[in-house]
Amino acid sequence: MFSRRRKLDTEEELYDVALRALMRRGHSVHEMKQKLARRTNDELLVRVVMARLKENGLLDDERYAQQFTRNRTQSRKQGTFRIQRELRARGVSDRLIDSALQESTAQTDQAAMVRQHIERKLKSYRGRKSAEKIEDKKIASIYGSLLRAGFPSDVIRKELHRITHEPVPEVEDRSHSL
C-alpha cells in the first residue's frame, strides 16, 4: 500500500530532509541522526549533514532540552519526572536534562501546578454539590493521573490532603523506577 521512500544519495537532499524535519519541530541530535540514517545507506553522509547542522546552529541538545522542558512545564503542565523520562528517550544526556530541569524548577511552582490540576478535576467530579464527599476511587484516579504527568508523589499527597481536607493514603509509587 505504502511505497518505501527512496534512499537519498547527496548531501543536499539529506540536508533538505533535515531542514524540513526541523521546521516541523525541534529534534535532539540523537533523533536527527536516526531520522537521517533511515533515509540513506551512507553513514559518512549522515555524519557530514549532522556536522553541518551543528555548525549552522540548527542542532543543539542543550537548547533543545531547555525548550522542551519549558514547553512541557508551561503548556502541558507536566512534572519533572515525565519530562526527564521523555528527554532520556530522545537521547539527551543526563547532564543537559538536569540543567534544563533545574532552570525550569526555579521558574515554576510544582505544588501550584498540582493544585490547579486537582481543582480542575474536582470541579468535574463534584458538579454542583460541593459539600459531597469525594470517593476514594476518584482521589486515586487524580493521584494516578498526576503521577503519570510526572509530579512527585509527596507533593501530590500533600496537595490532595490540603484541598480535599481528607487523609490521603500512602500509595506504592512505581512510576519513578526507570
pLDDT 10s digits, 123-173: 877 664 444 567 788 889 999 999 999 999 999 999 988 877 755 555 555
* pLDDT tens-digit series, residues 1-44: 555 778 888 999 999 999 999 999 999 999 999 999 999 999 99
What are the strands, taking DSSP E only, across 26-177?
Answer: none
Q: Is the dihedral of CA 8, 61, 55, 16 positive or negative?
A: positive
Answer for the pair 125, 133: CB distance below 8 angstroms, yes or no.
no
Rounded to 5°, the CA angle 106-110-113 comes to: 130
Are 160 and 153 spatial neighbours (Cβ–Cβ below 8 Å)? no
The pLDDT of residue 131 is 43
Fill in the amino acid letter for 154. Answer: D
Spatial contact of 20 and 58, defined as CB atoms under 8 Å apart:
no
Of 72, 151, 80, nearest in space to 118 by CA: 151
More confident residue, 122 or 115: 115
Closest CA to 64 of 107, 105, 14, 99: 99
- What does pTM read for this prediction? 0.78
Alpha-carbon distance of 73 to 116, in angstroms, equals: 13
Q: Which of 41, 42, 50 is nearest to 22 (CA)?
A: 50
Amino acid at 98: D
In the 8-state DSSP scheme, what is residue 25?
S
Residue that is written with C-alpha cell 506504592 in the block: 172
Residue 39 to residue 14: CA distance in whole angstroms: 7
Residue positions counted in the chain: 178
